[in-house]
Chain A
Amino acid sequence: MEFTAIILTLDATLRLATPLIFCAMAGLISERSGIVDIGLEGKMLAGAFAAAAVAALTSSAWAGLGAAIVVSVIMALIHGYACITQRGNQVVSGVAVNILASGLTIVVGTALFDQGGQTPSLSKESRFHALNWPGADSIKDVPVIGPLYADLLSGHNLLVYIALLAVPFTHWLVNETRFGLRLRAVGEKPEAVDTAGISVAWLRYRAVLLCGLLTGFAGAYLSTAQNAGFTRDMTAGQGFIALAAMIFGKWRPLPTLGACLLFGLLDAMAIRLQGVKMFGTIQVPVQLVQALPYILTVLLLAGFIGKAVAPKASGIPYVKER
């Protein structure tokens, strides 16, 4: 591949990895606290719908983002209430969130806009648009550095940069703060945290709230930055790819970012590889490239690529009195 093609592919990688990064960090914070979340997909979908609907009604991308966060947090609280307060099955609750989001977005969307569940196409001012970094235009023609700066670093929308900042933030929060220490402890051995006089439930609720916040960003990115509106089931499994990325990154922020970028790259390659013949005659099936994140994660889980060990208490409701 020539240099510009590489830049373009990496550029696409970053754009495709953004929702994965938001969701994977969301899942990471939730699971490190001991709450398994397979409802990332649903929360992101609900967020995407809320963002597009409110942006269409108010012509403000920021109002859309706010609505996405509110709706995702409400979904997260339903999950939290079921898992923490009611001690329900966390996987079942996650499935419920996914199915509810898939149905409700269309039901409410049809009631609001009467376009078969889609939102109207968003105008330019009601979306997040590309930010050009200072000097990007003047440096553009300098070889190597020019395209790297002007095309790869500059020219994305705000949410892409927020996603990239969410990674060091998550790392700091989980690994460097008192809250993070307690969060990790509550995901490994909640009894110990409880004995120290810290509320297990409140810690887990805060983790779930952060999870909702981040999936809200992911949803808003999908419908008001990457695309211009909401379409049926537009998350298309990305919540699950993010879950895979989190497992692939072994529940640690920086390796998880690496996995998100890898999966984003695979996605970008799948688009570019469409119809291209490799090695002269063999045409790589696009479906194979698209399936690679799942295949890699299964291989990882099988123990063929390192070992992925989940937080010990994840998925187990905490019962105080025994």
Chain B
Amino acid sequence: MSSKNVTLPRWVDIAAIPLTNVFLAFLVAGVIVLAIGENPLNATQILVSGALGSGEGIGYTLYYTTNYIFTGLAVAFAFHAGLFNIGGEGQAYLGGLGVGLVLLAFDHSLPFAVLLPLCILASMLFGALWVLIPAYLQAYRGSHIVITTIMFNFLASALMVYLVVNVLTPVGATEPATRDFDPASAIPFVHEVLGAVGIQMDSTPLNLSILLALAACVFVWLYLWHTPWGYELRAFGHSEKAAVYAGVKTKRIILVTLCISGALAGLVGVNEIMGVQHRLILNFTAGYGFAGIAVALMGRNHPVGIVLASLLFGILSQGGAELSFEIPAITRDMTTVIQGLIILFSGALVHLTRPWFERLFAFLLQRRPAAATQGA
């Protein structure tokens, strides 16, 4: 690679390079839009105004953002320990099962104030349980977490189809889903809360789960950077050998890290099942688990970055839906393409742009003394 020994300023590392990578992803996306015969600038304008131009748009955007924060945090949390939890999709699915089972059992008998913590715990517990076997195999049997969590995504899907179709759907129902839960058990929608204090807002799926997502961000930030466990976790991720030498119990780190990661992904179930659907349905995870990888990579595995990246992905999801109404040639799958491009440029090709910046700075540093002597 480049032999120039240039130390880049910190702002280049945490802002300029990541932004350049995201810019490249959007550039390629723009070329694709051009190639299918549409105007990318026009498309971007429709996308942004669709996502942010109305109360309804903002509501939907923030509803999508909530899910992306949960799965993005899940991926990032494990990344810090050098573990790649690719099973967020399955863990989120199981988290929803946990919420659904609690509500099926208690929605008529327990008050909301008891149900809410119970459902949050259930979603986290089920999400964590779904990663427990892969985590155990990684820690004690040396099998690779990536492969096992992929397998568990498919197992989650098979299990959920079986449970929902064969066990939980009431007799005589026309589509596979549980009965509707008691309306009193639902997490309040933001438009309801705002309506109660006299502010009008169009009804959207956005509910108070978004506060839970922000709380999860604070939790991850505190855990990773302000507790001894977080320190051990990051030390393990940085250098396993050094961590072992320092007395870190690596097997326990792997188990705890992945279980917390699974629990974070499971929280998608709270937003979707308790907040939006109010019954357990199939395929409510809709790719949020995989998108979490893009969110974590783009957000540089930091809670603040993840909130920003989730917001961008929320805008893309909602704006993309609007865009496909306006320009049918650009389907919602364009959002998927952009996700893939961001994973490619911010993840796999993350080293691509660094030499460009190094060369640029080497050039600037060379110029400076020359300019100084010229002036003298």
Which B150-187 residues sit within 8 Å CB-CB of chain A? 150-152, 154-155, 158-159, 161-162, 166
Which B322-342 residues sit within 8 Å CB-CB of chain A? 328-331, 333-341
| Contact stretch, chosen from B103-111, B195-203, B349-357 | B349-357
Range, interface on chain B:
35 or more
| Contact stretch, chosen from A124-132, A153-161, A168-176, A286-294 | A286-294
Can you give 21 A-B contacts (C-beta < 8 A)?
A81-B349, A82-B344, A82-B348, A86-B348, A91-B84, A92-B84, A95-B293, A99-B294, A100-B341, A102-B336, A104-B333, A107-B331, A107-B333, A107-B337, A243-B147, A243-B150, A244-B151, A287-B158, A298-B152, A298-B155, A301-B143
Q: Find chain A residues with CB under 8 A from B337 CB.
A: 100, 103-104, 107
In the complex, are the beta carbons of B137 and A302 less than 8 A apart?
A: yes
Distance in angstroms between the alpha carbons of A289 and B308 in the assembled complex: 42
Which positions in A face B, CB cutoff 8 Å? 38, 78, 81-83, 86-93, 95-104, 106-108, 110-111, 114, 117, 237, 240, 243-244, 247, 285, 287-288, 290-291, 294-295, 297-298, 301-303, 308, 310
Distance in angstroms between the alpha carbons of A167 and B152 in the assembled complex: 28
In the complex, are the beta carbons of B151 and A298 less than 8 A apart?
A: yes
In the complex, are the beta carbons of A96 and B36 less than 8 A apart?
A: no
Distance in angstroms between the alpha carbons of A90 and B144 in the assembled complex: 14
With CB as the reference atom, state the residue of chain A lying closest to B3: A321
Q: Find chain B residues with CB under 8 A from A88 CB.
A: 347-351
In the complex, are the beta carbons of A78 and B344 less than 8 A apart?
A: yes
In the complex, are the beta carbons of B339 and A99 less than 8 A apart?
A: yes
Q: Find chain B residues with CB under 8 A from A83 CB.
A: 348
Q: Find chain B residues with CB under 8 A from A240 CB.
A: 150-151, 154
Contacting residue for B344 out of A96, A111, A298, CB 8 A: A96
With CB as the reference atom, state the residue of chain B lying closest to A317: B351
Which B134-151 residues sit within 8 Å CB-CB of chain A? 137, 141, 143-144, 146-148, 150-151
Say yes or no for B86: interface residue by CB 8 A criterion. yes
Given A107-B331, A110-B331, A295-B155, CB of A100 within 8 Å of CB of B344: yes
Distance in angstroms between the alpha carbons of A106 and B324 in the assembled complex: 13
In the complex, are the beta carbons of A91 and B333 less than 8 A apart?
A: no
Distance in angstroms between the alpha carbons of A269 and B133 in the assembled complex: 27
Given A104-B337, A298-B148, CB of A89 within 8 Å of CB of B348: yes
Distance in angstroms between the alpha carbons of A303 and B137 in the assembled complex: 9
